[in-house]
């Protein structure tokens, strides 16, 4: 959601309890420590003053960067919190370059989910996912991100991004490409910029779908399996003097008080399956399964007018007459109510969900964004631009889902787009085939699938792209 940004002072951040929000009440405390990133909070000043009257471009740019394959195996010298060790001030500086602000944040022990003035940011120990819409300049954050990793993660060399484990950049075709900043006005411009930071020799770039209609772009790069002994941070940093404290008898020391020890091993590609040292550790700790990378997106246009009207502020005037404007904001209160009344808070099969934590915001004069944390470590996020003529909605989740068809049906039934793209990307492990096959065969009432494209991608990922139109 593009917005006229009002700069939020860090002192306007207030702590926030999700249960209180659902009861139309916010519990606030002054947030005094600008480096604190583990507390849920709302930026009250920005939330009250944000205006999205000039919104026009819904499709997001999606940047995902992994510093290691799991949060248990980090480059030597990294703090236990990994990327989550970057302070709030650093996150804000990075987002300033992109041209967006933090509205609020929810966290668990596994994940920080930031709701932004333009979409979302998710920060794990080992990876970061930045999703921004409008005229944001997503790729302008790369230099700052490298600087933050060096400063706060004790990275063993200054050439961080050249040795990054994985980098994904993707987006749907824009509705108004000429209104983007120069860096994002064309795919070739974006590739040129990405090649400044990541080695072009190991990159892959894909354009998927019908170029005369909606289509999708993907850039993929990272450490090659064959080169991992030479270039992976986990290996190249062994001889680094500042890493010696993390070496004990040929093991990487990681985790609380150094209890999680495992042999030094290069970062490996998923095609080599789970490394033996990880498999042993998983068995020892009785993990209920080792989930690899998994992503499902629905990119929807031409929303049904009645469905879109649910996200117009004019339909929800004076919903909270007892609201305290000094401590509460209409956007978050209404955002949570929109989630509940539309059913967007309950779109998953209950068998897949043990816990849920929601953060949602309704924009002025229209629009909606939400982040939800599932089972402590997965997310789903929705962003809706309901204006007729360029209406758009996106849904994304990384939850390994047993019932993808059920989920897709629920989202489409609520928003009723005339057209949508389904994009599913997953590492090619043995348990991924059934899920992929189910989506390949998936049919939806009242829709015709116009395109179906399956790719075998670099690093042994599989991609399914399907394009649907309403009958």
List 307, 383, 396, 432, catalytic entry: 383
Q: In the structure encoding, which two tokens stand for residue 16, read together? A: 């926030």
Kindly report the backbone phi and psi dihedral angles of residue 3, in degrees, each rounded to the nearest multiple of 5, phi listed first.
-145, 155
The answer to whether 265 is a known catalytic residue is no
Q: In the structure encoding, which two tokens stand for residue 402, read together? A: 């047993």
List 57, 64, 302, 387, catalytic entry: 57
List 369, 391, 394, 466, catalytic entry: 369
List 14, 47, 104, 119, catalytic entry: 119
3-state secondary structure of 203: coil
- Cβ–Cβ under 8 Å, residues 422 and 468: yes
CA distances from 284 to 70, 109, 287 (A): 17, 21, 8
Q: In the structure encoding, which two tokens stand for residue 215, read together? A: 């289509």
The answer to whether 119 is a known catalytic residue is yes
* CA-closest candidate to residue 335, choices 384, 282, 301: 384
Q: In the structure encoding, which two tokens stand for residue 289, read together? A: 């399964």
Sheet hosting strand 260-263, strand order edge to edge = 247-248, 251-254, 260-263
**Cis amide linkage into residue 446, ω under 30° from 0:** no
Strands 378-385 and 368-374: antiparallel
In a 13 Å sphere around the CA of 187, the CA atoms on its Cβ side amount to 17
The answer to whether 396 is a known catalytic residue is no
* CB-based contacts of 369-372 (< 8 A; 24+ apart in sequence): 369/1, 369/103, 369/115, 369/116, 369/119, 369/120, 369/335, 370/115, 370/335, 370/339, 370/344, 371/106, 371/113, 371/114, 371/115, 371/120, 371/122, 372/113, 372/345
List 78, 133, 141, 421, catalytic entry: 133
3-state secondary structure of 392: strand
List 45, 60, 190, 396, catalytic entry: 60
The answer to whether 302 is a known catalytic residue is no
DSSP secondary structure string for all residues of 298-311:
EEEEEE-HHHHHTT
Give the DSSP H or E segment for 379.
Answer: strand 378-385
The answer to whether 57 is a known catalytic residue is yes
Catalytically active residues are 57, 60, 119, 133, 369, 383
């Amino acid at each position: 959601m593009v917005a006229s940004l009002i700069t939020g002072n860090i002192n306007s951040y207030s702590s926030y309890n999700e249960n209180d929000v659902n009861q139309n009440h916010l519990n606030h405390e002054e947030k005094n420590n600008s480096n604190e990133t583990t507390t849920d909070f709302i930026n009250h000043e920005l939330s009250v003053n944000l205006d999205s009257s000039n919104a026009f471009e819904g499709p997001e740019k999606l940047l995902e960067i992994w510093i290691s394959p799991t949060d248990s195996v980090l480059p030597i010298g990294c703090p236990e919190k990994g990327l989550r060790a970057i302070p709030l001030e650093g996150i804000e500086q990075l987002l300033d370059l992109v041209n967006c602000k933090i509205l609020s944040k929810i966290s668990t022990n596994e994940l920080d989910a930031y709701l932004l003035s333009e979409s979302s940011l998710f920060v794990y120990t080992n990876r970061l996912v930045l999703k921004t819409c409008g005229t944001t300049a997503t790729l302008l954050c790369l230099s700052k991100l490298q600087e933050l990793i060096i400063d706060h993660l004790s990275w063993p060399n200054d050439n961080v991004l050249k040795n990054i484990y994985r980098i994904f950049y993707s987006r749907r075709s824009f509705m108004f490409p000429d209104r983007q900043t120069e860096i994002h006005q064309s795919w070739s411009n974006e590739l040129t910029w990405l090649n400044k930071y990541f080695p072009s020799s190991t990159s892959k770039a894909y354009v998927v779908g019908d170029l005369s209609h909606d289509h999708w772009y993907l850039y993929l790069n990272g450490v090659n399996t064959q080169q991992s002994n030479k270039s992976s941070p986990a290996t190249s940093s062994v001889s680094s003097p500042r890493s010696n404290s993390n070496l004990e008898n040929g093991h990487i020391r990681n985790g609380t008080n150094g209890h999680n020890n495992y042999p030094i091993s290069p970062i490996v590609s998923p095609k080599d399956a789970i490394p033996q040292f990880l498999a042993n550790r998983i068995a020892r700790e009785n993990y209920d399964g080792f989930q690899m990378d998994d992503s499902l997106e629905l990119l929807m246009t031409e929303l049904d007018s009645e469905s879109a009207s649910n996200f117009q502020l004019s339909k929800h005037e004076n919903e909270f007459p007892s609201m305290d404007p000094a401590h509460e904001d209409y956007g978050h209160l209404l955002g949570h109510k929109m989630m509940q009344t539309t059913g967007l808070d309950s779109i998953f099969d209950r068998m897949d969900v043990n816990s849920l934590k929601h953060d949602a915001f309704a924009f002025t004069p229209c629009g909606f964004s939400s982040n939800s944390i599932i089972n402590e470590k997965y997310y789903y996020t929705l962003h809706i631009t309901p204006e007729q003529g360029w209406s758009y909605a996106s849904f994304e989740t990384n939850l390994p889902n047993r019932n993808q068809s059920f989920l897709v049906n629920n989202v489409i039934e609520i928003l009723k787009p005339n057209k949508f793209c389904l994009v599913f990307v997953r590492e090619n492990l043995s348990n991924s085939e059934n899920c992929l096959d189910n989506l390949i065969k998936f049919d939806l009432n009242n829709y015709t699938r116009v395109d179906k494209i399956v790719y075998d991608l670099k690093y042994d990922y599989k991609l399914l792209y399907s394009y649907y139109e309403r009958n």
